[in-house]
Structure formats: C-alpha cells, structure tokens
Amino acid sequence: MTLFDHHIHSDRSDGRVSLEDRAKSVAIRPHGVSDHYPWPSGMQDDDGILRYIDAASRLGLQVGIEYDLGVARPLLSSTQKALDYVIGSVHQVTLDTRIDYSPAGAFLKGRGGTSFSEARRFGDPELQRKILEQHLQLVRIGILHRGIDIVGHPTFSPLAALGDPEDAYPVEWQEQLIALCVENGVAIEINEAYGVPHRAFLVRAHMRGARFAVGSDTHFELVGLEKTDAMIQAAGIAPDERGRFLDGKRTRQEGAPTVTSS
C-alpha cells in the first residue's frame, strides 16, 4: 500500500532539499512538507507560516509544519486552518535544566557510534520519571490546546536510546499517550528515521483503535519506507486498514480544540 508521507523537511528549516525539488519527488511517492516551527532562519510567526504555505502549495505540495511542542507559540486559528496538517513533536523537555533530545536522535539515526554516550545519565530512574511526565504533558497540551493532528515520533526521547523501549517506557505511560490520541482523533506517527514507536506500542495503539500517520522525517532526498513497512507489518496492521492512516489532510473533527492558551 502506498501511504502518504507527512513528515519531510526542506531547506526552509534543517533539510537540504528545496521546496521545488520536494515538489518533484511527489511523483515518486505521495508526500507533503513539514518544516520546523519555529526555526531561527525560517518560520518564526504566523506570517512566516503563511508565506511557507503559499510557497509550498503554489508548487502543488500538501503543507504541514512540525510544531515544536513546549517551544512554539500557539497558532492563530486561521493559520491552523490554512495548513493541511500539524505534526506536534517533542524535541526537548525542561526540568531543572533543558534536556535536549538531539544526542539521542543522532544515536538512533545511526550517527552516534555503537553505544549511546549519555546512557549512564539517562539510566537514572528518577530522571526517567521526570522526562516521561514532562514529555506526556507537552503532548497533552499539544492535543488538547494546540490542535495538532499527528504526534510526531511519539516515543522518541533519550529513553528510546537506552536499548529496550518496552522497558524504558512503562505500559501505563504508553497507554495514556495512546488514549489521548484515540480520544481526540489524533494520529500516531510511525517514524522511519528514528524507527519509533516500537512494536509493542504499535500493537497497543492498533488494539485501541488508533489512527496512524507515516513520516519518513527525511532531511535529504526521498528515502524508501522499508523500516516503516516492516513496523506496520510487525504490529499486525493489515493492508486493508488503509483507512486508519492519514492521507495528507487533517481529520480532526470540526470543533476539536484549536488555539487556547494554557
């Protein structure tokens, strides 16, 4: 089954490919673009997002953003409506200090050598508990108050780089995240770049009736979705369940919470 790829970066944030070239690769496989918001050299406010939408949609692309949960300011509802979809992702949490997820990300993407350099630090159960709590809270705000359509790489955090995610993420935490998505019609992303979520999480989400969204999260040329396909298959999601997957458009009901501050 050819599934729509929602999560693709361009040189409007940290991707290396122009919007023009992204528009060409739609012929290979259906995909949109979803650059980071906010981004120092890119989108910084609603006007910046509207200019991005204009440039990308003019090229025939479906247009989303990757909304940085806990960092980005709320969007105006008119901006929200102008986007085809919004991916909400956690890239950091703030406890006593800022916990940046990028070293774990580099490791999960195979760029950090054979062992995770911060494994010892993030092996601390108390730190894990705090990260999980804050991460879930950011996702909750994203879903209940920011109107996101997709939770990007839902189980990506330094904990995912420790080895067994089923061990690092308590089942209750997984179930809470899944329930938030299911109750609000928000899709769970299956992320090719990080290879998350893990099989047991996807099996649980599938059982609870979740919706899914494919995201290669590529910053370079269009990549295959071999890992994603294998993850879908391993989770027991059948080819005839295409309807569970988002198709480049938001599906949250009209009246779903959009922009309220919290």
In whole angstroms, how far apart are CA 146 and each of 55, 61, 143?
24, 23, 6
Structure tokens, 238: 């059948």
**Is the Cβ of residue 66 or residue 192 nearer to Zn ion in the bound state?**
66
Question: Hey, CA dihedral for 109, 115, 121, 123, is it positive or negative?
Answer: positive
Judged by CB under 5 A, which stretch of 128-136, 168-176, 214-222, 235-243 contacts Zn ion?
214-222
One-letter identity of residue 257: P
Judged by CB under 5 A, which stretch of 81-89, 161-169, 184-192, 248-256 contacts Zn ion?
81-89
Which residue in the block uniquely carries the two structure tokens 């309807």? 243
- Binding status of residue 192 toward Zn ion by CB under 5 A: no
CB–CB of 69/138 below 8 Å?
yes
**Is the Cβ of residue 3 or residue 108 nearer to Zn ion in the bound state?**
108
- Binding status of residue 217 toward Zn ion by CB under 5 A: yes
CB of 217 to Zn ion, least distance (A): 4
CB–CB of 63/101 below 8 Å?
no
Q: What are phi and psi of 193, to 5 degrees?
A: -65, -45
Binding mask 151-190 for Zn ion (x = CB under 5 A): ----------------------------------------
| Binds Zn ion by CB under 5 A, chosen from 10, 13, 79, 89 | 89
Q: Using CB under 5 A as the criterion, which residues of the chain lie in contact with Zn ion when the complex forms?
A: 66, 89, 217
